[in-house]
Each structure stands twice: as C-alpha cells, then as structure tokens.
Amino acid sequence: MVIDAADVDALRSFWVEALHYEPYAGVGQYRSAVAAGGADLPKLMFQQVAEPRAAGKNRLHIDIEVGDQMEAECARLTALGATRRSAPIAEAGTEWIVMADPEGNEFCLVRHH
C-alpha cells in the first residue's frame, strides 16, 4: 500500500506508531514500514510528492481494529498527531470513529459488536 506524503519521514513515523510497525527502508523520495516481528501484514510505502493532498473523501482508507479500547486508542493517536473527525458511528453491529493522519488522510478506528 502506497501513501503519498509531503513529509515522508514524519508520516511514516506516525503510521509506525499507530500500527505498531517498524521502519524498514528508505531511498530518495521513498520510505517503507513493515509489521513488527515479521508478522504477515501489508507493507506500507510512503512516497514524497510535490502536490498537496486533494480535497475530498479518500478512495481507500485504513481501518484499525481496536476492540473495546476505541476511546483510549483515539486519545493515543490524537497525541501522535491524528485528528478526530467524528463521534462514534454505529451501523450493522459495527462502531467506528473517523480519524485523519497528520497529513489529512482519513482512517477509521473500528469495533465489532
């Protein structure tokens, strides 16, 4: 999964902390991160781009499963630089909070009932 960024180092640092990943490699305008301990989870790539993020809804976003720790995880991620964009939303046995990373890319904290 590739995420465009104005500041690849800062955005990678945010997602490394948010997902408990590890920095992996970097060259030129690219940085990467992998799941801690070699877990079989998606690799993240961060690509520095000159153009700013376009306004509007993301076409793709990350959901972070948080169980019963939704508010605590929201507070932790806000302290890392995320922005809370919604109150909890409940639908079809699922509850989520819409968040944004430090560059405005939306993601959700999710709890299934």
Q: Write the pLDDT tens digit of every residue in 7-33.
A: 999 999 999 999 999 999 999 999 999
Point out which residues pair with 87 in neighbouring strands: none
20 part of a folded domain: yes
Whether residues 78 and 36 fall in one domain? no
Instruction: Judge if 112 and 65 occupy the same domain.
Output: yes
Output the pTM of the full model.
0.85
Alpha-carbon distances, residue 12 vs 63, 73, 86, 89, 107 (angstroms): 17, 18, 24, 28, 15
Residue 7's pLDDT is 94
Whether 55 maps to a domain, the answer reads: no
Same domain, yes or no: 43 and 83: no
Contacts of 36 (CB under 8 A, 6+ apart): 20, 21, 22
What's the structural domain count of the chain?
2
